[in-house]
Structure 1
């Protein structure tokens, strides 16, 4: 297998802390959830169900990130 090298155009600064990364991930997932939900209302039938399934997966990932964020920075 070829060595995997990330494209440097999309590199996260090495000094960004975990809390900041988690907050950004949570905000990105929340935005993706809204987009998938809006798309589902435009679609019909199986395509609507697919968009709702994607939205559900995004929501589950968002819950996981929020749980980790709670452990990093308990309120």
Structure 2
């Protein structure tokens, strides 16, 4: 079965989308919006200022920072292990997977500490 479809209406070839003032304004607004998202300014207008509510002292040495990170990761690993023991599968497996990722982070921090101050 064939459906009868009308031909598109005939128009002049020289019809411009900017024929009216409103369409020109709309096009300009669309261009500005696209440029805002697709062509951000090369230099930020305002420098980003992080919150100073929780800040690590800027004069802390790397070894102390890594040691603290290692202790925090070890504590998180123990807490997750204890919490996983209270759960049943599959939630237990999820917690143990997260604990394993934390343990891997702890190993990486320990290696960084070893690289800073190798034991003889």
TM-score normalized by structure 2?
0.58
**Does residue 22 of structure 1 match 2:22?**
no
- What is the total number of aligned residue pairs between the two structures? 75
- What corresponds to 2:95 in structure 1? 51
Q: List runs of 5+ in structure 2 lacking aligned partners.
A: 1-39, 41-46
Note the C-alpha offset of 1:9: 1.1
Q: List runs of 5+ in structure 1 lacking aligned partners.
A: none
**Does residue 64 of structure 1 match 2:108?**
yes
Look at both structures and tell me which one has the larger radius of gyration over its CA atoms: 2
Distance in 2, matches of 1:29 and 1:9, equals 22
Query: Cα RMSD over matched residues?
Result: 1.8
Note the C-alpha offset of 1:6: 3.1
